Structure 1
């Protein structure tokens, strides 16, 4: 039986595809390639170019490939942009999820792993976020992810659907050459782009109550994240119970200055970050406990900050090459 990976041509989704293949699972990818790349999908994996808003295409894919479960990684993921484009975000993330759930019900598919987000928490008033921390999203993106979780839970109460949602913070690194984060809004690619363009990266605020005065954020390696998606799918396929929500986090995090220092060391590009005032609404520290996921989903932080930066940089440099996808060592 096959698992369908929505958004499987994206940065996170393509790593999930690789993890599933390495775990002996058959997969089919559905992606409209609005932010994904066809060459992120292995040549021997079926790629259906379609939006998750197209229920007929979803149903046909489910029937054609005998889909038994879905990892739902498709969606509009830019929190800042979502403030300017709320209707687009809700169409992609809420209507899209509802359309997927209807197609799954119609096709008798009863297993779902949902890629959710730490944006459901907003700006929590605790240093370490757990699964019981109240969800108070502060952007249409965060709201749409929380509504997606609600939709899934509601459908599960009225059907045989088994499911879990994985909430994670800043996903970085690369597990395979050529699979890289192309987001124009995430810290690692932003700094890489600045350095390769001769622009000085910026730190916003150096007077926070943290060890070095800069904000502390949680970073997790995409390959570690993908492995826990695989384990979640395997456990649902085996009929094992999973919690409705898991956080995938380090429990500690790293400061912005630590990230900048590590990027300077790894890239061998010398720079001194420009210092700007704090941005409104930036909390001093946010990190998530991964204890529950460690218990159930083999969640382990296998990579330190240096290996996260190094694998990101290597994959970025390899992105323009014609070499086949292969493992990226730390």
Structure 2
């Protein structure tokens, strides 16, 4: 039986492909390559290029590969961008998720793992934030994911579907063996932008919001290594296969670092300095985002192995050095926006 990974040519999805492939699981990837990269999918893993909302393609893929579970990553993921393009986000994240789930249930798939986000909790959730905290998204991105969660829950009640929703906090780092990492020149997460600034790939770094109600005035985030996150998805798959009930779980470590602390960590690990420009806060960005991650540990038995900021930064830095060594891939110099 095969696991279908939507968005498996993207940053997080490609790490999930590696985690399942390393475990000997049959996999098939569905990705439209709008933001993903063909080379992110190993040559021995089937790649279907197409839209997750294409009902006929989804049903054909499920049948051809004997798919029994789906891990759904395909989405647009920038909160600030979603404020500028709400219709695009609701179309890509909510409408397409609904279409995908309808096709999967029609095809007989009964296990789904859904990629959600801590952005569902809003600007100032209780800290640390548990899964029972009020949901009040401050951006269309967070709202589009919360709507998708509701669609999945309602669909599960109607169609005997079991699911695990994983609400990610801030994902960073790269595969330690340099098989996968952040390939996008337009990536917007802080650790990627700061490591690129340290390597001279960006003309410095811009940080947004220095007057927030936090100890040093900058946003505080719970950073999780992308490989730990992939292993959380593997644990969720085991849970569903064992007959476990549907769950909504936070994915984080339970402590946070401010933007300034991350900048200093990148300077420390890289042993390089880079300019930082301070800009006004952005709409849709939470002030503090730190997980209460006790439920995922209790429910899935998940134990992170890489819960160290310098390790996360180091893996990200090594990937950026490796990936952008090829001049043909180097991004145009631009100021990083974190």
Please report the TM-score for the alignment, with normalisation by the length of structure 1.
0.91
Corresponding residue of 1:326: none
1:89-238, aligned counterparts within 5 Å?
Answer: 89-175=89-175, 176-181=177-182, 182=184, 183-195=186-198, 196-197=200-201, 199-206=203-210, 208=212, 210-238=214-242
Aligned partners of 2:235 and 2:302 also within 8 Å: no
- Number of equivalences: 321
Corresponding residue of 1:274: 277
SS at match of 1:13: helix
SS at match of 2:159: coil
Name which of structure 1's ranges 192-201 and 297-306 shifts more when overlaid on structure 2.
192-201
**Runs of 5+ consecutive residues of structure 1 not aligned to the other structure:** 323-330
Shift of residue 238, structure 1, vs aligned partner? 2.2
Shift of residue 202, structure 1, vs aligned partner? 3.2
Aligned partners of 1:179 and 1:319 also within 8 Å: no
Q: Give yes or no for the alignment of 1:239 onto 2:243.
A: yes
Instruction: String of CA shifts for 1:250-302, please: whole Å, max 9, x gaps.
Output: 21111111111111122222235334455567554321111000112233342
Shift of residue 65, structure 1, vs aligned partner? 0.2
Aligned partners of 1:23 and 1:230 also within 8 Å: no
Distance 1:87 1:198 in 2: 30
Match for residue 298 of structure 2 among 270, 295, 298: 295
SS at match of 1:53: coil
The 1:271–1:29 alpha-carbon spacing in structure 2 relative to 1, beyond 3 Å, is: same
Name which of structure 1's ranges 19-28 and 58-67 shifts more when overlaid on structure 2.
19-28
Aligned partners of 1:30 and 1:49 also within 8 Å: yes
Q: Give yes or no for the alignment of 1:309 onto 2:313.
A: yes
The 1:279–1:51 alpha-carbon spacing in structure 2 relative to 1, beyond 3 Å, is: closer
Please report the TM-score for the alignment, with normalisation by the length of structure 2.
0.89
Distance 2:197 2:258 in 1: 19
Name which of structure 1's ranges 216-225 and 20-29 shifts more when overlaid on structure 2.
20-29
The 1:139–1:210 alpha-carbon spacing in structure 2 relative to 1, beyond 3 Å, is: closer
Aligned partners of 1:131 and 1:246 also within 8 Å: yes
Corresponding residue of 2:6: 6
**Runs of 5+ consecutive residues of structure 2 not aligned to the other structure:** 327-338
